[in-house]
Structure 1
């Protein structure tokens, strides 16, 4: 007879590419995880994983069986939720990766509120502007701007209509004067950050008829978007950031939106996961929680988002 804990070991091992990593995630000893995998293979009468001291890969049979194992686990989760009337208590660890600026300055209080609602949930938060490897790193889901390059990952929209906005601190504008056109950016100190290892210095906008592109320069670049935002708050230059990142600063008067008649480039926020059913009810509730809070900020955006 198939055991669900054996299926969990197999699915997680396939996703992480490591039996020992799957054992750690499930809080099992390597020996117990290995026994579970052997038991499943014996029940099915075939090898699911080809293992050596240095590598692990799915066999042909394993590749065929993996989606069925995932579907079986998902069905069991849905059944539990149905019996609980859709109000299943979520608990256990949630391992989440998020961008540095959004994570520190926007997401933290939202996660605090989420844990108050679900006190049995424990949180591990990793902040970085580099994309997390959901198959290698100890991360369940990731919040990211834009769609993942890996087409095998699932992207669940959280704020699909979010955009970048151009802004600067009032103190900077007092020293350097107002910005009247995109062309005038060449005379301003533009604070740039790195995306996927490349400097983001080609700023794109739309005037309702056509796309406008402005190449910018300045004396400061960082691979941490939170650092770039702090430079902007200190009056060091002009910044082109996600509205969600700077909404609170604009509302408090710490930053001022420039050229609001132009629409900034899209910066959709998504929850990225290896499989839609990976966290079940936890993922669903977290997504709903984030969508509602993002909607409040987008309602105050200087651009139309419907």
Structure 2
């Protein structure tokens, strides 16, 4: 039978990249920690880690097994909390990936509130616009716009009604005028985002009759960091086509102005992504509820919500 303390040694060793560091954190001797790993590998019938005097890495089997080991340990913690009558009291480490712009400018204060409500919880936050590899990276869940391309991943909605909006700063509009039609964008400097090597330069909308409209845009700036694109817009460098959640607070404060509000922007649903439904434990459930409530407040302020 697998031992939970052996699983703990394996998971912590994989996360820290060092058996000796894991042993110190668990207050074990290196010999005891090494024996735990060997015992686990013997029971599973495969090597999980390749170890040498200078390095340590997961084997292919170890990469496959790691998320299951994490999930098993978390399930044991949640079961213990349930028996203790403290299901709402969550602890441990929640590893989360989020988009750069949404993560820095919207999510951070929400996570601060969440940790104040759950002081025993630790967070590990990775910010990147590229899709997180939930099977290889030390991530339990990811917040991402749109549906995952990998159909094996589990997607749970957080803000299904979110859409893109066209906007620019008051300073840019004072100097360059406001577009009155979609075709007018050819006369404006459009700030574009690049993901996976592809520049997002075909901006799509629906008119009041729900007919699809598309405009090819151009400009002097492209970035693979969505937060950089937003900062350019705030600095008056051009027109931007962004997720409402990313710029809602900028619009409310007057730092950005919504353009052509009669057009309906592309749907950009925010989803919580995980590799296995087993990862949707109590910590993730409570975090999702926390995020859904706050996203709904912002969506209610959107021009497309009226």
TM-score, with structure 1 as normaliser: 0.82
Most deviating of 20-29 and 259-268: 20-29
Most deviating of 153-162 and 233-242: 153-162
Distance 2:285 2:192 in 1: 35
Match of 1:164 in 2: 164
Match of 1:56 in 2: 59
Match of 1:222 in 2: 223
Structure 1 unaligned residues grouped into runs of 5+:
none
- Asked if structure 2 preserves the Cα contact closer than 8 Å seen for 1:80 and 1:88, the reply is no
TM-score, with structure 2 as normaliser: 0.82
Structure 2 unaligned residues grouped into runs of 5+:
52-56
- 1:27-61 CA distances to partner (integer Å, 9 max, x unpaired)? 5688656533543465x5x61457767872349xx
- 1:99-137 CA distances to partner (integer Å, 9 max, x unpaired)? 111111111111111111112222332222122223333
Match of 2:282 in 1: 281
- Where 1:204 maps in the other structure, the secondary structure is strand
- Asked if structure 1 preserves the Cα contact closer than 8 Å seen for 2:194 and 2:222, the reply is yes
- Asked if structure 1 preserves the Cα contact closer than 8 Å seen for 2:75 and 2:281, the reply is no
- Asked if structure 1 preserves the Cα contact closer than 8 Å seen for 2:78 and 2:87, the reply is no
Structure 1 position 295, deviation (Å):
0.7
- Asked if structure 1 preserves the Cα contact closer than 8 Å seen for 2:9 and 2:22, the reply is no
- Where 1:158 maps in the other structure, the secondary structure is strand
Most deviating of 124-133 and 184-193: 124-133
For 1:154-303, what aligned pairs fall within 5 Å after superposition? 154-207=154-207, 208-278=209-279, 280-303=281-304
Aligned-residue Cα RMSD (Å) equals 3.3
- Asked if structure 2 preserves the Cα contact closer than 8 Å seen for 1:147 and 1:155, the reply is yes
Distance 1:290 1:106 in 2: 10
- Asked if structure 2 preserves the Cα contact closer than 8 Å seen for 1:205 and 1:213, the reply is yes
- Asked if structure 1 preserves the Cα contact closer than 8 Å seen for 2:9 and 2:36, the reply is yes
- Would the alpha carbon gap of residues 52 and 214 (structure 1) be closer, same or farther in structure 2, given more than 3 Å must change? same
For 1:115-126, what aligned pairs fall within 5 Å after superposition? 115-126=115-126
- Where 2:246 maps in the other structure, the secondary structure is helix
Distance 2:240 2:22 in 1: 40
For 1:144-155, what aligned pairs fall within 5 Å after superposition? 144-155=144-155
Structure 1 position 81, deviation (Å):
4.4
- Would the alpha carbon gap of residues 51 and 282 (structure 1) be closer, same or farther in structure 2, given more than 3 Å must change? closer
- 1:230-259 CA distances to partner (integer Å, 9 max, x unpaired)? 111121111000000000011111111111
- Where 1:303 maps in the other structure, the secondary structure is helix
For 1:47-86, what aligned pairs fall within 5 Å after superposition? 47-49=45-47, 56-58=59-61, 76-77=76-77, 79-85=79-85
Distance 1:31 1:252 in 2: 59
- Would the alpha carbon gap of residues 171 and 158 (structure 1) be closer, same or farther in structure 2, given more than 3 Å must change? same
